[in-house]
Amino acid sequence: MQPYIKHTSIAALMDRSNVDTDQIIPKNFMKKVERTGFGINLFHNWRYLADNITPNPEFELNKPAFKGAKILVAGENFGCGSSREHAPWAIADYGFNTIISTSFADIFFSNCFKNSILPVVVTDEQLASLMAEISANEGVEFTVDLEAQKVTTPGGLSISFEVDAFRKESLLDGLDDIAWTLKHEEQISAYEAAQRKRLPWLWPSA
């Protein structure tokens, strides 16, 4: 996994709540057996006109000012619905590595960390301020510093955010989750041996 590095980037504004994973990547684009190439269909149904090719000029992310944005600022309950990891794959493939909102759906939140995407939870007031700053100055660049757990803006906002210590470390170092867990092989084996005795019907008879 790519380590997450402090960066200053354009922040794109998506003033919508309950953005579900069906919008992030519609099901017709989930048939691939690879992890890559989903970015072109990110927000497909909003992003393109009826011909499925022409960018919809009314869709916010199609604004020239948001081109190259790495930070997405969006309304509450982002990523609700289907568990599809194709959603964070599409987001990362498009170029975002940070999403700022007041709340995220559980599975999506967890999927982000597996794909070097930092979901930042802020308060209602903080979100309103961030959104106002983007609206007033589209193309504005924010700085996200995971190490210091801080988002700063040219408008003078300095917002501290919480992040689970282990997840932070994994993002900063680009750690392989499975490798970390397998360091606990001894405990897993011991658990399995005990469960075989306690609940033998869960195991194939030897």
69: contact with other proteins by CB under 8 A = no
Q: Identify which range of 16-24, 56-64, 66-74, 150-158 contacts other proteins by CB under 8 A.
A: 16-24
> Which of 10, 8, 13, 15 minimizes the C-alpha distance to 152?
8
51: contact with other proteins by CB under 8 A = no
* 8 Å CB contact between 126 and 147: no
Alpha helices in the chain (DSSP H): 21-24, 44-47, 86-94, 106-113, 124-136, 165-173, 177-182, 185-198
From residue 96 to residue 125, the character string flagging contacts with other proteins as x (rule: CB under 8 A) and all else as - is -------xxxxx--xx--xx----------
Q: Which of 2, 6, 32, 148 binds other proteins (CB under 8 A)?
A: 32
Q: Which of 162, 177, 193, 196 binds other proteins (CB under 8 A)?
A: 177
Q: Which of 156, 165, 197, 206 binds other proteins (CB under 8 A)?
A: 165
Q: Identify which range of 2-10, 59-67, 80-88, 155-163 contacts other proteins by CB under 8 A.
A: 80-88
> Which of 75, 170, 89, 86 minimizes the C-alpha distance to 128?
75
Rounded Cα–Cα distance for residues 128 and 13 (Å): 11
Phi, psi of 185 (to 5 degrees): -50, -40
Residue 98, exposed/middle/buried by CB under 10 A (0-12, 13-18, 19+)?
A: buried
85 vs 140, which CB is nearer to other proteins? 85
Rounded Cα–Cα distance for residues 96 and 47 (Å): 16
Name the residues that contact other proteins, by CB under 8 A: 16-18, 20, 22-23, 26-28, 30-35, 45, 50, 75-77, 80-85, 88, 103-107, 110-111, 114-115, 164-166, 177-178, 180-182, 184, 187-188, 191-192, 195, 199-204
